[in-house]
């Protein structure tokens, strides 16, 4: 059994203290151990970042971008190796892992445009012999805390952009599946990133608290559950840090009577059951406008859910792998039992699934509930598993009210052929990311990702233009060179043109 290590100041470092097991969820076996960083180890990473910052901030943006160009090439060359590690420790299929990596690479591509995105704004002659401009300067040492469900993509939302903006970055990835994250960081070192600009430290709440409390850390990015997002936002902002903390979700898909149902069903199958439902943008509620739509939807979904190909994620040609841990599987099973007890109709029950040759894996088949109501826990809470709930309403207005009343506002979508309905939905829905006949409206890298309400704590979304604003601070400079022959009297009124 191998020991995964920290990456600090360009070197592999181990803690002699606590550690955690890393499982292969397809087999249920422990395959690695990962150290849980002590406060001393976190401080070591902070010190190396602080020491590297002066030289890195003064490195021309074009040279920073050149590192990212090489990094992108290395990521593409190592796609199969990275995907294998993701699948072994997370459980998602190889195809899904490769797709995750590709979306992460898009953010590296955006970071390659550093010379353009870091251009300041310049105005000549704002007053007599006075010029003014703004400059976008790095914050210093910044940190990111990332979840288990996207060990490649979500870190790549954060540190490539933070680094090309001139910051030094400390990453605390999930301790459940750290190997791919660490390999990707090593590839960035191979691309020529100076020592100390990026460190990877593994850990649990103790490591998170150390980053929150460290005065040298100027900003924190987080993706995970809402309770932890709210905790990090509260604790870090009261210490004067800049924070973007992305939390949980309960994403609804509205199906109108005029929807292309066959295409909607295909989209829902991938959006609800892809990655075993362990996505913050997964569709977990189908809101059907009218009983006829609901009945037709369920009739088409049931055979496809029952036909899902489920097995070890590292096998080819599968639709779903296991959940990430036994605890995750048992938690989802508990929600299913609660839904049945609450009166929802369990149309497809995926519990008790056994995969031949992987009987000890953390598997759960696709599940489908009908006649779910807003009072039920399976409707209100994020299940984070392969469970789709069908809610029946009588109108688009009722569907929108349902969504707007929910505490989460991460993503949503509508399936319709009616442009007027789609426009109304996009305008009035209180959700941060909206799709029209697109089930997973995850913005491309040159836009920004983030929800509303209790799905996001902070003012700026992740990556894209908001990411640049988050990882830089604006400095406004006004400069005057008066003519030598002139002499002006003192002015005591507030200056104006």
Phi (first) and psi of residue 378, to 5 degrees: -65, -20
Q: Which residue has the tokens 């009343």?
A: 405
Q: Are 470 and 242 in contact (CB under 8 A)?
A: yes
So which residues are the catalytic ones?
Answer: 280
Q: Which residues pair with 287 in a beta bridge?
A: 254, 391
Angle (CA) 148-149-154 rounded to 5° is 85
Q: What's the rounded Cα separation, in Å, for the pair 89 and 31?
A: 9
Exposed (0-12), middle (13-18) or buried (19+): which is 125, by Cβ within 10 Å?
A: exposed
Closest CA to 57 of 479, 467, 471: 471
DSSP state at residue 18: -
User: Taking the C-alpha atoms of 318, 158, 247 and 383 in order, what is their torsion angle to the nearest 10 degrees?
Assistant: 10
Measured in residues, the chain has a length of 497
Buried b (16+ CB within 10 A) or exposed e, 384-422: bbbbbbbbbbeebeebbebbeebebbbbbbbbbeeeebb
Whether 91 and 117 have beta carbons less than 8 Å apart is answered as no
93-115: string of b/e by CB count within 10 Å (b at 16+)? bbbbbbbbbebbbbbbebbbbbe
Q: Report how far residue 352's alpha carbon sits from residue 362's, in angstroms, rounded to the nearest whole number.
A: 10
Judged by DSSP in three states, 50 sits in helix
CA–CA separation, 345 and 368 (whole Å): 8
């Amino acid at each position: 059994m191998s020991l995964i290590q920290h990456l600090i100041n360009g070197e592999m470092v181990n803690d002699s203290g606590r550690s955690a097991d890393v499982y292969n969820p397809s087999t249920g076996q422990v395959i690695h151990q990962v150290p849980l960083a002590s406060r001393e180890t976190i401080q070591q990473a902070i010190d190396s970042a602080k020491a590297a910052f002066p030289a890195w901030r003064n490195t021309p943006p074009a040279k920073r971008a050149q590192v990212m160009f090489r990094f992108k090439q290395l990521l593409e060359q190592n796609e199969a190796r990275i995907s294998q590690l993701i699948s072994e420790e997370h459980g998602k299929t190889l195809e899904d892992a490769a797709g995750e990596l590709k979306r992460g690479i898009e953010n590296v591509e955006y970071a390659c445009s550093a010379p353009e995105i870091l251009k300041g704004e310049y105005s000549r002659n704002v007053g007599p012999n006075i010029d003014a401009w703004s400059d976008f300067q790095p914050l210093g040492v910044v940190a990111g805390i990332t979840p288990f469900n996207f060990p490649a993509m979500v870190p790549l939302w954060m540190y490539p952009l933070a680094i090309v903006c001139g910051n030094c970055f400390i990453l605390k990835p999930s301790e459940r599946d750290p190997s791919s994250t660490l390999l990707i960081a090593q590839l960035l070192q191979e691309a020529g990133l100076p020592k100390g600009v990026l460190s990877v430290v593994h850990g649990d709440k103790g490591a998170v608290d150390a980053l929150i409390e460290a005065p040298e850390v100027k900003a924190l990015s987080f993706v995970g559950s809402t309770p932890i997002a709210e905790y990090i936002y509260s604790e870090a902002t009261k210490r004067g840090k800049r924070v973007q903390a992305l939390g949980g979700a309960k994403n609804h898909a509205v199906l109108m009577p005029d929807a292309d149902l066959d295409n909607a069903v295909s989209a829902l199958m991938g959006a609800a059951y892809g990655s075993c439902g362990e996505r913050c943008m997964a569709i977990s509620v189908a809101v059907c406008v009218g009983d006829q739509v609901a009945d037709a939807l369920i009739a088409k979904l049931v055979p496809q859910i029952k036909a899902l190909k489920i097995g070890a994620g590292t096998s080819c040609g599968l639709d779903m792998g296991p959940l990430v841990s036994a605890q995750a599987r048992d938690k989802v099973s508990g929600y299913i039992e609660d839904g049945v007890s609450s009166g929802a109709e369990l149309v497809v029950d995926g519990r008790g699934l056994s995969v031949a040759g992987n009987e000890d894996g953390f598997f759960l088949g696709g599940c489908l509930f009908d006649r779910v109501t807003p009072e039920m826990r399976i409707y209100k809470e994020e299940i984070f598993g392969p469970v789709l709930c069908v809610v029946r309403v009588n109108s688009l207005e009722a569907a929108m009210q349902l969504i707007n009343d929910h505490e989460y506002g991460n993503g949503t979508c509508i399936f319709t052929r009616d442009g007027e309905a789609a426009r109304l939905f996009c305008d009035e829905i209180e959700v941060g990311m909206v799709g029209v006949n697109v089930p997973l409206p995850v913005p491309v890298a040159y836009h920004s990702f983030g929800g509303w309400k209790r799905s996001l704590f902070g003012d700026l979304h992740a990556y894209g233009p908001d990411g640049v604003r988050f990882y830089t601070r604006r400095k406004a400079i006004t400069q005057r060179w008066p003519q030598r022959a002139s002499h002006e009297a003192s002015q005591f009124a507030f200056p104006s043109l």
